[in-house]
């Protein structure tokens, strides 16, 4: 990573997520959010899968992004946050973007949901300037293998139930591409990227905490329906936010056997990359 974040920066990252999202989503997003300021995002920035805009809003860089997303309702929320130069309703397989335009692109926890993801990687490469960089974060193959419910049923010898649980959990998570870093790297090279860096993050214990949080976070859904907020009492002292646990995780986000992978894909600038 190119830049070191201060403890105050990491505090802000955790607050931006924990005070606005259910804790099981906040813990993963806090870790991921810490990667981009460390790497830097040269402008103009393309955001593939901008969604409701919360992730871009939470960024320490406070840059203006160009958002692309196929869904109208979350895009309306993103517009209200005023962090995008523009938001375009578009399928990522066919971005209405000028070729060789963006200095950097990001796609956070999006590509695992998209069928025929190769076409999206091709489009990201086309839209980047020579020498541009594409950053993205996705769950990897270990996500499928390390679920708590799956391990529980396997310990009981109920392998059929373990398989059903794994399929059910990933179905409700809308996961399509749970692939190894090697598979993603090959896709990126096929798209034309000249050099790919990657590392893993999010340990198994964090995955299982997130997994159980889908049940523990049900009250947050009620708050959202009734009051328009996921979190009613945004405070580090609120035990239901798991702030201390999440803050500790953000301090040391990388782990070799992590269930997620972060990618930094470089487009050739026409010169030899060393």
pLDDT digits (tens), the chain, 274 positions: 456 899 999 999 999 999 999 999 999 999 999 999 888 899 999 999 999 999 999 987 778 899 999 999 999 999 999 999 999 999 899 998 889 999 999 999 999 999 999 999 999 999 999 999 999 999 999 999 999 999 999 999 999 999 999 999 999 999 999 999 999 999 999 999 999 999 999 999 999 999 988 877 778 878 888 888 889 899 999 988 999 999 999 999 899 999 999 999 999 987 654 4
Indicate the Cα dihedral angle 246, 250, 252, 254, nearest 10°: 110
| Distance between CA atoms of residues 79 and 234, nearest Å | 24
For residue 32, the model assigns a pLDDT of: 97
Residue 2's pLDDT is: 57
Instruction: Tell me what pLDDT residue 60 has.
Output: 78
pLDDT reported for residue 229: 87
Cα–Cα distance between 260 and 144 in angstroms, integer?
Answer: 11
Q: What is the per-residue pLDDT for 79?
A: 93
The predicted pLDDT at position 64 comes to 82
Listing DSSP states for 167-183 in one string gives HHHHHHTT------HHH
Q: Give me the pLDDT at residue 251, please.
A: 93
In sequence order, what are the beta bridge partners of 197?
264
Write out the H or E segment, with its range, that includes residue 31: helix 23-39
Distances in Å between the alpha carbon of 34 and those of 21, 98, 162, 263? Answer: 16, 29, 33, 14
Dihedral-angle region of residue 270 (phi above 0 means left; psi in -120 to 50 means alpha; beta otherwise)? left
The 3-class secondary structure across 109-138, one letter per residue, is CCHHHCCCHHHHHHHHHHHEEEEEEEEEEE
Domains along the chain? Answer: 7-140+177-266 (3.40.50.150)
Whether the bond into 80 is cis, omega within 30 of 0: no
Q: What is the pLDDT of residue 224?
A: 81
């Amino acid at each position: 990573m190119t830049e070191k974040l201060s403890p105050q920066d990491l505090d802000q990252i955790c607050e931006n997520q924990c005070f606005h999202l259910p804790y099981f989503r906040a813990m993963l997003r806090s870790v991921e959010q810490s990667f981009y300021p460390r790497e830097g995002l040269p402008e103009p920035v393309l955001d593939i899968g901008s969604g409701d805009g919360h992730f871009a809003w939470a960024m320490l860089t406070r840059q203006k992004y160009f958002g692309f997303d196929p869904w109208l309702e979350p895009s309306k929320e993103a517009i209200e946050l005023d962090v995008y130069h523009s938001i375009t309703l578009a399928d990522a397989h066919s971005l209405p973007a000028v070729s060789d335009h963006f200095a950097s692109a990001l796609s956070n926890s999006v590509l695992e949901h998209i069928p025929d993801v190769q076409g999206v990687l091709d489009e990201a490469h086309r839209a980047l300037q020579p020498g541009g960089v594409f950053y993205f974060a996705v769950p990897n193959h270990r996500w499928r293998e390390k679920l708590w419910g799956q391990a529980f049923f396997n310990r009981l010898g109920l392998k059929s139930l373990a398989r059903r649980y794994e399929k059910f959990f990933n179905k409700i998570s809308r996961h399509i591409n749970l692939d190894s870093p090697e598979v993603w790297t090959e896709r990126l090279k096929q798209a034309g990227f000249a050099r790919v860096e990657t590392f893993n993050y999010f340990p198994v214990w964090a995955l299982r905490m997130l997994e159980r949080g889908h049940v523990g976070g049900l009250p947050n859904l009620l708050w959202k329906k009734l009051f328009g907020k996921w979190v009613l009492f945004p405070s580090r002292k609120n035990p239901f936010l798991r702030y201390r646990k999440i803050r500790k995780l953000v301090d040391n986000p990388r782990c070799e056997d992590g269930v997620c992978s972060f990618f930094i894909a470089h487009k050739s600038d026409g010169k030899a990359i060393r």
